[in-house]
């Protein structure tokens, strides 16, 4: 079996889109890691959120947070020195994005100048965030503990004031992207694909010829899928694929975790 590194999205891919379960994928992830195949989380989720899933599933590999804002590498993981920008807990951190404190300051300034009626996690108490997210406070705390972005919960993106605010953010190197429910303000240098390439260069130095494998489910994963040698797109609930393209993309029949297991089982000689 060829050497490989697996880069995977979480929500709707490794983890069930509706109930956040990893029951289907966890046994295979553990087998992969025990066989020396790193499974790298590459998601919009925060450092704290990903640390939770890594502990629950048993993953020891590096991980990529907040849509490619930073690469977290456990100390002593690579047997050589490399350039990093900061140290958080027991991780060396390669930063592509900018710190949240800088983002919050820029948002506050842009909000004042534009008179946009918006608010985000930083403006709320934990119990208020939990009510909005409809999650327990512990899970809400993990979601709102951000290092390189801010979530805006309210804001009419069609209003002139909101458009003015986003223009001011763009002038400062930030992007405001609309999600299914909320908006995310993040550095325009944050990129899943770039983060994967940075990390894979380190893996390739440790294991020459290691093949990069990517799995995702949505347009948000396009940079990730475009950056790897073997990209796989799993299905959305309802058995359909998001309309994205990437070189050598393989569309897997299987929703989220079921598609994930199918793709990896066919790619490797490791199965459940």
Extract the tokens encoding 150. 């801010």
- Residues facing residue 150 across a β-bridge: 185
Sign of CA pseudo-dihedral 214, 215, 218, 220: negative
Instruction: Tell me which of 9, 11, 147, 217 is the catalytic residue.
Output: 9
Kindly give, in sequence order, each residue whose CB lies less than 8 Å from that of residue 14, ignoring residues fewer than 6 positions away: 8, 22, 25, 29, 41, 215, 256, 257, 260
Q: State the Cα torsion 124-125-131-133 to the nearest 10°.
A: 60
Q: State the Cα torsion 36-42-47-50 to the nearest 10°.
A: -60
Kindly give, in sequence order, each residue whose CB lies less than 8 Å from that of residue 227, ignoring residues fewer than 6 positions away: 7, 192, 193, 194, 196, 197, 200, 212, 214
> Is 9 a catalytic site residue?
yes
Extract the tokens encoding 159. 């209003």
Measure the CA–CA gap between 219 and 217, rounded to whole angstroms: 7
- As annotated, the active-site residues are 9
């Amino acid at each position: 079996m060829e050497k490989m590194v697996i880069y995977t999205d979480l929500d709707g891919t490794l983890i069930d889109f509706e109930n956040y379960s990893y029951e289907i994928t966890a046994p295979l992830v553990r087998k992969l890691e025990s066989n020396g195949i790193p499974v790298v989380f590459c998601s919009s989720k925060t450092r704290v959120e990903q640390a939770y899933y890594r502990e629950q599933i048993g993953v020891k590999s590096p991980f990529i947070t907040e849509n490619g804002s930073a690469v977290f590498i456990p100390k002593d993981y690579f047997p050589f020195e490399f350039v990093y920008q900061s140290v958080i807990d027991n991780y060396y951190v390669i930063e592509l994005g900018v710190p949240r404190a800088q983002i919050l300051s820029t948002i506050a300034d842009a909000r004042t100048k534009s008179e946009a009626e918006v608010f985000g996690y930083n403006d709320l108490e934990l119990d208020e965030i939990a009510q909005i997210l409809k999650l327990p406070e512990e899970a809400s705390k993990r979601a709102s503990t951000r290092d390189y972005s801010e979530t805006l919960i309210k804001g009419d993106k069609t209003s002139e004031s909101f458009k003015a605010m986003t223009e001011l953010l763009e002038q400062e190197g930030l992007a405001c992207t609309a999600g299914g429910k909320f908006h995310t303000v993040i550095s325009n240098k944050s990129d899943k694909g770039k983060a994967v390439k940075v990390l894979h260069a380190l893996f390739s130095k440790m294991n020459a010829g290691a093949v990069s494998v990517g799995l995702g489910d949505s347009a948000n994963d396009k940079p990730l899928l475009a950056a790897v040698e073997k990209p796989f797109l799993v299905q959305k609930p309802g058995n359909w694929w998001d309309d994205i393209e990437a070189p050598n993309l393989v569309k897997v029949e299987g929703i989220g975790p079921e598609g994930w297991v199918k793709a990896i089982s066919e790619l490797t000689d490791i199965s459940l």
